[in-house]
Structure 1
C-alpha cells in the first residue's frame, strides 16, 4: 500500500510533553464496532469491557539507554536499541562518521565500550567493557530515552524516570515505554478486577526502531526492526482459556498486540514464544490472537498507525484521528488513549 494513505496533519500543540495526572484521568476515545465514537476517560474503562475479558500488559522496563560519550576529541551520542549478547548492544549513533569498528567510546563514570560492526541500517554494535552487569553501567552514565518528539522540545528530567515507566515494569531491556500501559494505576486495576476484567503480562523489549519513520513509498518495501519477546506456557494457556470461555483478549499497547500475533497460529491458538519478532501489520492482515486494543494516538505515516488501521479499517481510523485532533486530544507517548474494539 502507498504510505501516503497513512499521512495526516497534526498541529504541533497536540503533542503531549507530560502525562496526565493522575494517569487514569487521560482521555479515552472508544471505537466499538460500527457504533459512534465516544469521548470518555481511561478511568471509565471498567464500564467499557465485559466480565471475562482479559487485558494483556507488557512488563518490560525501560533502561537509561541514551548515552553521551567521546572518542578522542569527537563527541559520540548513542541510543541503544537491541541487546545482542550479555555485554553487546546494537545502537544508533549520532556523529557516526567519526566512529570506526574497533574504536573505544568513553561514556563517562568509568563506562567504556568498543564499537563493533556497522549494520545496513547504520547502527553499530557496542561491546561494554568490564564485569559489571551492563544495566548497572547504564544507571551510571545513561539517561531515560524519551521519544525524539518530546526530547526535541524539552530536556529529560528526574520526573521522567517515573513518568516513563508503567506500573507493570519488571523486566529491564526496553529503550521505549509500552506507552498505553502508562495510563493504568492501582486504583484502576482494582476497579477492573471488581468488574470481572482480568489481566496478565508478557514481555517485549521495545526498541528504538519504533520511532523510525517509514521512508519507503510502499509498505511492501519497509523493513521492521526485530524486537525480543517472550510469552510463557502459563500465559498462553490462560489467554486461550479466556477466549474458550467467550472472553476477549484485549492487548494494552501495540507491543503486546504484536507479540501475541507473533505467537498465534492460523488456528487462532496462542502458543509459547521466545525470540525475535519483526511482524509488520498492515491493512489486509487477519488477526489471530487478539480481540481488541488499548493504544495511544500514533505518528503520521508510522507502522503503528498502519496497525490500528488494519484492526479498525483505514477510513474509520482516519475519521477517529480527525475527531481527536479537532477535539484537542493529546498525542503520542504521554498523550491520551483509545479503545479499539472491531
Structure 2
C-alpha cells in the first residue's frame, strides 16, 4: 500500500448481522445515566473487567488499578479527538422546533448531519425533511439541506433519510460558534444535560468528534503518568467520531482520521517485537486498520474511512482492546468478535451482566488481552 493509496483510501462498508449469541437484553438499570463524578466517584473509579482470550479468564476490579494488568513494553494507542458541542437547537421555516446533530465534516464545506425532534426529555429521528430546505440556527445562522446521505459506496439511499448532506452558513468560525450556541449530543438514557467537560478525555488535542471517544474517559493525568513510569508506551492518533444510531443499530459512517508517522513507526516496531498493542477504543482500531495493509504493516495517513471491521475481515493492527460495553446488536460487537471470537464475547458479556456492570459512555470498561 503506497502513501497515495492511503490518502485516497476507498470507502468500505460491510453489512453483516450481529451474532445471535450476543443478541441479549440490556436491563434498564444497567444503563449509566450520568457521569461517575455525579455518582460520587472519581473519573477513574469506574469498574474494569480484564479478560484473557487465551483461556477466557476474567478478573474484576477498579479502572484505577489497570496498571496491574499492564506490563512494561505494552503500548496504548489513544484517540486524542475532543468532543464538540455538536447539537444545536433549530427550527423549520414553519416554526417546528428540531435539534440538529452535526456528525462528520466532509471536504468542500459539506457535513453529514442528523435532524431530530423533541420527544419528552430526549429526541428521536425526524424523517420529514426535504432536499433544498433551510433550517434556522441561533444567531442568524442556517443549515442548508442538500441531499440524503448515501449509506454505502454503491450509492444506495436509505429508505427513510435519517442522515443528510448539508452546508452550514455561519457568521463566525465553527468552534467558537458551537462553544457559544451548541451543547453535547445525548440520548434518552442520559436524562440530564451535562457540561461539555464531562464528555472529554484528559488528553484532547483537537476538537472534532460528534460523540465522545469514551473508552479513554476514565484515564486521569496521574494514572497516565504512573503508566509511563511503569514502562507503558502511549502513542496518539486522531479519529473524529460521528453520530451513532441507537434506534437502527446502523454501521458507522465515514469519519476523519489521522495516523502520524511516529505512531505508525511505533506500532510497527511493537508488532515486530511481539509487544501487546492495546487500542483505547474501537475508534483507534478503525483508524489503524484503515492504514494497515495485508502484510500487517501500518502506514501513516489521513482521510475519511468507512471501514467496518467484521470477523470475516479480521484485525491486523492491534492484539488487545480497551472498550466500553456495547449495546445488543451494535455493529461494534462485530469488531470485538473479530478480535476475541464469539465464545470469549459470550463469556465476558455474561460476566458483565451478572456482575452488574454499567453500559454506555459514562459506564464501566472492558480490557481484552491476549
Check whether TM > 0.5: yes
| Off by >4 Å, runs of 4+ in structure 1 | 95-98
Q: Given the alignment of the two structures, is residue 31 of structure 1 paired with residue 51 of structure 2, yes or no?
A: yes
Structure 1 residue 157, shift from structure 2 partner? 2.8
Structure 1 residue 94, shift from structure 2 partner? 2.5
Among 172, 178, 184, the alignment partner of 1:132 is 172
Change (3 A) 1:163 1:224: closer
Q: Which residue of 1 aligns with 2:98?
A: 76
The correspondence of residues 32-71 of structure 1 with structure 2, limited to 5 A, is: 32=52, 33-71=54-92
Q: Which residue of 1 aligns with 2:111?
A: 89
Among 156, 180, 202, the alignment partner of 2:193 is 156
| Aligned residues between the structures | 330
- Deviation string for 1:116-142 (max 9, x for gaps)? 222224222332224521222222221
Q: Quick one: distance in 1 between partners of 2:318 and 2:357?
A: 26
- Deviation string for 1:281-327 (max 9, x for gaps)? 22233321101001110000011122112211112211211111111
Change (3 A) 1:149 1:309: farther
CA contact (8 A) 1:6 1:302 kept: no
- Deviation string for 1:45-80 (max 9, x for gaps)? 112111111101101111111122112222232111
Q: Quick one: distance in 1 between partners of 2:246 and 2:219?
A: 23
SS at match of 1:80: strand
Q: Which residue of 2 aligns with 1:208?
A: 243
Structure 1 residue 2, shift from structure 2 partner? 4.2
Bigger mean CA offset, 193-202 vs 35-44: 35-44
Structure 1 residue 172, shift from structure 2 partner? 1.5
Q: Which residue of 2 aligns with 1:17?
A: 33
Unaligned runs of 5+ in 1: 216-222
Structure 1 residue 37, shift from structure 2 partner? 0.7
Q: Which residue of 2 aligns with 1:105?
A: 135
Q: Which residue of 1 aligns with 2:354?
A: 326
Q: Given the alignment of the two structures, is residue 117 of structure 1 paired with residue 147 of structure 2, yes or no?
A: yes
Q: Quick one: distance in 2 between partners of 1:195 and 1:140?
A: 41
Q: Quick one: distance in 2 between partners of 1:144 and 1:48?
A: 33
Change (3 A) 1:238 1:71: same
Bigger mean CA offset, 91-100 vs 234-243: 91-100
SS at match of 1:109: helix
Structure 1 residue 224, shift from structure 2 partner? 4.0
SS at match of 1:209: coil
Q: Quick one: distance in 2 between partners of 1:13 and 1:233?
A: 44
CA contact (8 A) 1:111 1:141 kept: no
Q: Quick one: distance in 1 between partners of 2:245 and 2:79?
A: 15
TM-score (norm 2): 0.84
Unaligned runs of 5+ in 2: 1-15, 118-125, 150-156
Change (3 A) 1:140 1:341: same
Q: Quick one: distance in 1 between partners of 2:316 and 2:242?
A: 24
RMSD of aligned Cα (Å): 1.9
